[in-house]
Amino acid sequence: MKLTTIAFKNVRKNLSFYSLYLFSVALILTVFFTFMSFSLNDIMMSKISEDGRVETMTRTISVFLMAFVLFYMSYSNQFFMKRRMKELGIYTLLGYRKSAMLALLTIENILISLGALLIGITMGALAHKGIIAGVSLLLNLEINTSSIPLFNGKAVFYSAVFVFAVILVLSLSNWRLLRKTTLLSLVRLEKTVEKPIKVRVSAAILGLLLMISGDLLAIDVIRGKESLWKSIGVAPMGLSMVLMIAVGTSFVIYSFLPYLFRKLEHRKGLLYKDIAIVTIPKFIYRIRTNAKTLIMLSLLIAGTLGVFGSTALTMYYPVAAVNRIIPSALEFPLEKPEQADRAVQALNEAIGSEQFTVQQSTLIKIQSQSDNLPAEYALGREPGFELMALSDYNRLLHQQGKKAEYTQLEETHSILIKYRSDPKQRDVGQIYRLSLPDNQLLDITVRDTTLSNPIGFNISVGTLIVSDEIYHRLSGLGLPEISVMSIDGKNLRDSKAAYEALRPVLKDNPYFASSYARTYDIMSGNSSTFLLLGFLTVLFFIAAGSILYFHNISAVSYEQSDYEILGKMGYSKKKIKKVIRNQILVMYAIPFGIGFIHSICGLICYKGLLIDDILGQSWQIFVPVAMALVIAGVIFGIYYLITRRTCYRTVFPR
């Protein structure tokens, strides 16, 4: 019989077994082809990249994508080789040479890879069209999508060449394995496992301490200036954290978890139960023999969740921070008195007078001779405070849809607007000595601090809210003043029409600020980065979930005779399913649980080091991270349900 015929029959006979392998490889190639189509789309690149940064990122990420696709397909190929070794041993007994068996395996790889490639190209082309439409809608890009072909010729060519290169690498790997394998080992390789790892208490304790220390080191960044990250440096602390987590995770899985289950095994009351007496010894065995895979998956899932969470946080947080950076929908300092009338007239013509409200506020600029000045004093264009009357402050907050926190102030008391949150309230109770004309001085006491700034930071940073009495007293002294126009209204923060109406009127005003324009700049400037990181995240999810799937299917297949023995011992089908379910759950829970903890600590470190926290509200941080982790949990939950169903069908075929 020809090898091609045998290969076709093998694939057709084991279609249900190969289906998820085909599907997972097709998903990975879908992501790869979508990425290649996007990166080779000259029309799209010309719209979103002006300085070549996106092209550089696509080249860098394409290397990671190709390496990861090769890694995943190599792992899957190794899995299927182990499943086929007994069959290949029979072929050897029938007189087939190893070269013939290599040809058979190569033909099967070609069939599966071509099928996955065709599915990947088709699905990737549709996904590419969807991404183009989504990015165009999000960034308001004027792109004629009909001019972009469904199938990018270059992307098809590069994807096909890459897949055939992967097949060649897999064939070389298979030949290397076949060449050093004897006939006896071909028959028995399917049953071989790694040598059991000797449980060492010292290694177990060391691993747990290292892993906990690495995570604690990551979250030490929340101490701010007092943290080790500031005193020692980011580079040495980052390297130490990664090494502690990696080494600690390895020891925890190699030694601590087997040690933990060994302790549970010695608890007679827990062990001598119909399910526990079967599952606990198997847990020890599985963790020992699959330690390398569990370590790799734990770190892979930690990285995947970290990238996913940081991408969501980086995309969400700057947009949320616009509410503080530009508290009104539109605002600008009045450089000329006629600018106010021209701005109102332009908005009346564009959106109608009933769609917006306007408030003009006047800030008094003043210097201070105190030594204990807040950081905000020196953050503006010129050192100093900007004084605002309490009544103007409350009216402007009401216009912005915010609640007024303070209804009255004593004459010499003030409210300091903070740029960043200060939980320790260091500035409360401080007395600032303000410099008045004719060498006069005025002492102002800080009654409280707040993050509810009424004016954007491009105009005023060191804002002090003072009583109306003090404000009116100082306003007649000839101190420098700034008049600020604040415009708000329902849905005005997202109004392109309002921004477009004011832009020509205020084209010479460098301090004109629009929440719509700022949000648009953030989204357009970072959308390509988020999209490219999204490709990697999706690929990691597919790979991690599929590896867990194949690993559990392999273990259940090898132990099928054990389940038959349990049935003969009187275990019902329901109890055997519970045994299988518990074993699968543990194999999913270990890498996901460890990866989840590492990713949370890593995200706290990322936020503390790289994100300028001006919101001061913890829920603003947790919302995107929680959403990302919930989505990840749902994805792995779906993989778990699919794995459980397939394992049930493997043990209890119809």
What pLDDT digit, counting tens, does each position of 597-625 carry? 998 898 888 888 877 777 776 566 677 77
Q: Is the pLDDT of residue 190 over 60?
A: no
Residue that is last in its domain, among 488, 522, 554:
488
Residue with tokens 């602390």: 237
Q: Is the pLDDT of residue 96 over 80?
A: no
Of residues 282, 286, 329, the one with CA closest to residue 197: 286
Of residues 523, 611, 628, 530, the one with CA closest to residue 61: 530
Cβ(584)–Cβ(110) below 8 Å: no
Please indicate, yes or no, if residue 301 is contained in any of the structural domains: no
Looking at this protein, which amino acid is placed at residue 563? Answer: Y
Of residues 468, 276, 309, the one with CA closest to residue 391: 468
Q: Is the pLDDT of residue 197 over 70?
A: no
Q: Which long-range contacts (CB under 8 A, 24 or more apart) does 73-78 make?
A: 73/25, 73/28, 73/113, 73/166, 73/170, 74/169, 74/170, 74/173, 75/547, 76/21, 76/24, 76/25, 76/546, 76/550, 77/109, 77/170, 77/173, 77/174, 78/173
Q: How far apart are CA 62 and CA 139, in angstroms?
A: 24
Q: Which two tokens stand for residue 195?
A: 């040598």
Please indicate, yes or no, if residue 250 is contained in any of the structural domains: no
Go through the chain and tell me how many residues it has: 654
Domain that holds residue 127: 1-192
Please indicate, yes or no, if residue 414 is contained in any of the structural domains: yes
pLDDT of residue 536: 74
Q: How far apart are CA 454 and CA 488, in angstroms?
A: 12
Stretch 461-471: mean pLDDT: 92
Stretch 3-8: mean pLDDT: 69
Q: Is the pLDDT of residue 272 over 80?
A: no
pLDDT of residue 245: 92
Residue that is last in its domain, among 192, 218, 236:
192
pLDDT of residue 194: 44
Q: Is the pLDDT of residue 436 over 80?
A: yes
Please indicate, yes or no, if residue 525 is contained in any of the structural domains: no
| Whether the model pTM is above 0.95 | no
Residue 295, phi then psi, degrees to nearest 5: -65, -50
Of 123-132, 241-250, 540-549, the range with the highest mean pLDDT is 241-250
pLDDT of residue 55: 66
Domain count, the chain: 2
Please indicate, yes or no, if residue 394 is contained in any of the structural domains: yes
Stretch 334-348: mean pLDDT: 87
Cα end-to-end distance, the chain, whole Å: 31
Q: How far apart are CA 245 and CA 236, in angstroms?
A: 14
Q: What is the CA radius of gyration of the chain?
A: 32
- Which band of pLDDT confidence, cut at 50, 70 and 90, is reported for residue 447? very high
pLDDT of residue 144: 65
Q: Which two tokens stand for residue 221?
A: 């960044």
Looking at this protein, which amino acid is placed at residue 177? Answer: L
Residue 425, phi then psi, degrees to nearest 5: 50, 50
* Of 191-205, 305-319, 467-481, 489-503, the least confident: 191-205
Q: Is the pLDDT of residue 132 over 80?
A: no
Q: How far apart are CA 210 and CA 218, in angstroms?
A: 12
- Which band of pLDDT confidence, cut at 50, 70 and 90, is reported for residue 7? low
The H-or-E segment that residue 416 falls in is strand 413-417
Q: Is the pLDDT of residue 201 over 90?
A: no
pLDDT of residue 556: 81
pLDDT, tens digit (0-9, with 9 covering 90-100), for 369-402:
888 899 888 888 889 999 999 999 999 999 999 8
Stretch 419-434: mean pLDDT: 87
pLDDT of residue 104: 74
Of residues 443, 303, 318, 315, the one with CA closest to residue 370: 443
* Of 72-76, 546-550, 589-593, the least confident: 72-76
Mean pLDDT of the chain: 81
Please indicate, yes or no, if residue 300 is contained in any of the structural domains: no
Residue that is last in its domain, among 160, 192, 224:
192
pLDDT of residue 617: 62
pLDDT, tens digit (0-9, with 9 covering 90-100), for 483-498:
999 999 988 998 889 9
Estimate to the nearest angstrom the gap between the alpha carbon of 585 and the chain centroid: 24
Longest dimension (CA), the chain: 109
Task: Tell me how crowded residue 250 is: count the other CB atoms within 10 A of its CB.
Answer: 21
Please indicate, yes or no, if residue 224 is contained in any of the structural domains: no
Q: How far apart are CA 469 and CA 635, in angstroms?
A: 60
The H-or-E segment that residue 464 falls in is strand 463-466
pLDDT of residue 53: 60
Q: Is the pLDDT of residue 565 over 90?
A: no
> Exposure pattern of 498-515 as b/e (b: 16+ CB <10 Å)?
bbebbeebbeebeebbbb
* Of 186-190, 583-587, 610-614, the least confident: 186-190
Q: Is 171 exposed, middle or buried (0-12, 13-18, 19+ CB in 10 A)?
A: middle
Please indicate, yes or no, if residue 162 is contained in any of the structural domains: yes
- 79 bridge partner residues: none
326 compared with 97, residue with greater pLDDT: 326
Q: How far apart are CA 214 and CA 229, in angstroms?
A: 13
Of residues 654, 328, 258, 255, the one with CA closest to residue 518: 328
Q: Is the pLDDT of residue 583 over 80?
A: yes
